[in-house]
């Protein structure tokens, strides 16, 4: 179990590096939007399911927290996309 | 505790969306102001909070194995990360104030300082909770059959981390 947690921690660190790297690269605002938000979604899911241990928890807690993550990140993506068009 | 955590997430969610939609009307101002942020400091703070969350996972695992002292050591490691996060944020906020930047400078900095301080206070509260849990764990107050307090403190700390995981790309990275 702890090996899995260590692996997830390293994934979280790697995804943070990817997001920062993307923002430093000479890419358009639109080009970094989807990958950065995707890494945010994956990182959020790891924290909710693995660190908070909500995967397998009694409903509805997992779905409420995951729903919050998807709605917030999705609407942020919509707002940023709207601002670019 | 979960109702409290959900309420906190809702409040942060509203603030995040307020920032994102306010930005649609001031894109150039937000992008120009964002350039004045210390992205490296934000990235280091992300590493610190993610690592502290991992250390808390290790602490919960240790108390499940009835290792109270080891649980306390992992919690101390988590709080060290949390304390360093707070110190870096203070340096960051201090640099902005020294440069004459306040919440009334413009809409971007109102959100940056407001959201940042709001999250900062949650980290402080998380540190107080983890500190109390650590003290009890150190004294052997938890066991493999009774560790609800450790799990509750862990859930709150992970919430603080989860919020930062969105706050960091929103304010420091996306443009």
Domain boundaries defined on chain B:
2-173
CA B157 to chain centre: 8
Measured between alpha carbons, how far is A1 from B165 in angstroms, rounded to an integer?
23
Q: How far apart are CA A72 and CA A51, in angstroms?
A: 20
Per the CB < 8 A criterion, the answer to whether A15 and B168 are in contact is: no
Tell me the percentage of chain B whose pLDDT exceeds 90: 98
Q: What are the structure tokens assigned to B79, written together?
A: 């709080």
pLDDT bin (cut points 50, 70, 90) of residue A64 is very high
Mutate to test the interface with A, among B43, B50, B58 (most CBs of A within 10 A): B50
A residues 22-41 closer than 8 Å to B (CB): 22-23, 29, 32-33, 36-37, 39-40
Q: Are A20 and B43 within 8 A, CB to CB?
A: yes
Q: Which band of pLDDT confidence, cut at 50, 70 and 90, is reported for residue B2? A: confident
pLDDT at A1 over 80: no
pLDDT tens, B24-73? 999 999 999 999 999 999 999 999 999 999 999 999 999 999 999 999 99
ipTM: 0.94
Average the pLDDT over A29-50 and give the result: 94
For residue A61, is pLDDT > 90? no
Name the residue range of residue A41's domain: 2-84
Q: B106-132 burial string, b = 16+ CB within 10 Å, else e?
A: bbbbebbbebbeebbebbeebbebbee
Are the beta carbons of B165 and A47 separated by less than 8 Å?
A: yes
Considering only CB atoms, A51 lies closest to which of B5, B53, B175, namely: B53
Dihedral sign computed on CA atoms, order B80, B84, B86, B87: positive
A70: chain B residues, CB-CB within 8 Å: none
What are B78-102's pLDDT values in tens digits? 999 999 999 999 999 999 999 999 9
Q: What pLDDT was estimated at residue B95?
A: 96
Given an 8 Å threshold on Cβ–Cβ distance, is A47 in contact with B21? no
Residue A73, C-beta contacts closer than 8 angstroms, at least 6 positions apart: A37, A40, A41, A44, B166
Tell me which H or E stretch contains B95: helix B68-98
Rounded CA separation B129/B151 (Å): 11
CA distances from residue B159 to B8, B14, B30, B43, B58 in whole angstroms, order as listed: 9, 16, 27, 18, 16
Is pLDDT above 80 for A59?
A: no
* CATH no. for B2-173: 1.20.120.80
What local confidence, expressed as pLDDT, does residue B1 receive? 81
Residue A30 has pLDDT above 90, yes or no: no
Give me the number of domains chain A comprises. 1
- pLDDT attached to residue A25: 84
Please judge whether A51 and B13 are an interchain contact, meaning their C-beta atoms are less than 8 angstroms apart.
no
pLDDT at B111 over 90: yes
How many CB atoms within 10 Å of residue A56?
7
d(CA B88, CA B64): 33
**Contact at 8 Å (CB) between B24 and A84?**
no
B 117-146 residues with CB below 8 A of A? none
Evaluate if residue B115 carries a pLDDT over 80.
yes
Q: Return d(Cα A79, Cα A38) in angstroms, integer.
A: 15
Task: Name the average pLDDT for chain A.
Answer: 92
Across the interface, whether the CB atoms of A76 and B170 are under 8 A apart is answered yes
Assign B148 a pLDDT band (cuts: 50, 70, 90): very high
**How confident is the model at residue A60, as a pLDDT?**
87
Distance of CA A79 to the CA centre of its chain: 17
């Amino acid at each position: 179990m702890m090996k899995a947690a260590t692996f997830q921690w390293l994934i979280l660190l790697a995804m943070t590096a990817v997001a920062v790297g993307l923002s430093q690269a000479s890419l358009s605002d639109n080009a970094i939007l989807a990958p950065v938000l995707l890494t945010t979604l994956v990182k959020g899911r790891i924290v909710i399911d693995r660190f908070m241990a909500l995967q397998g928890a009694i409903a509805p807690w997992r779905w409420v927290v995951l729903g919050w993550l998807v709605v917030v990140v999705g609407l942020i993506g919509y707002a940023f996309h709207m601002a670019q068009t | 505790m979960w109702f409290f955590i959900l309420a906190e997430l809702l409040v942060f969610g509203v603030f995040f969306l307020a920032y994102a939609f306010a930005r649609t009307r001031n894109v150039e101002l937000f992008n120009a102001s964002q350039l004045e942020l210390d992205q490296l400091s934000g990235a280091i703070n992300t590493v610190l909070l993610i690592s502290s969350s991992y250390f808390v996972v290790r602490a919960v695992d240790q108390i499940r194995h009835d290792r109270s002292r080891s649980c306390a050591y992992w919690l101390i490691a988590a709080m060290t990360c949390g304390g360093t996060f707070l110190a870096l944020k203070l340096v960051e906020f201090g640099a902005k104030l020294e440069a004459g930047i306040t919440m009334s400078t413009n809409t971007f900095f109102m959100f940056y300082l407001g959201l940042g301080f709001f999250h900062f206070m949650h980290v402080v509260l998380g540190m107080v909770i983890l500190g109390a849990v650590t003290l009890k764990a150190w004294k052997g107050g938890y066991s493999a059959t009774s560790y609800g307090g450790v799990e509750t403190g862990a859930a709150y700390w992970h919430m603080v981390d989860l919020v930062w995981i969105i706050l960091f790309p929103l304010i420091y990275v996306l443009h």
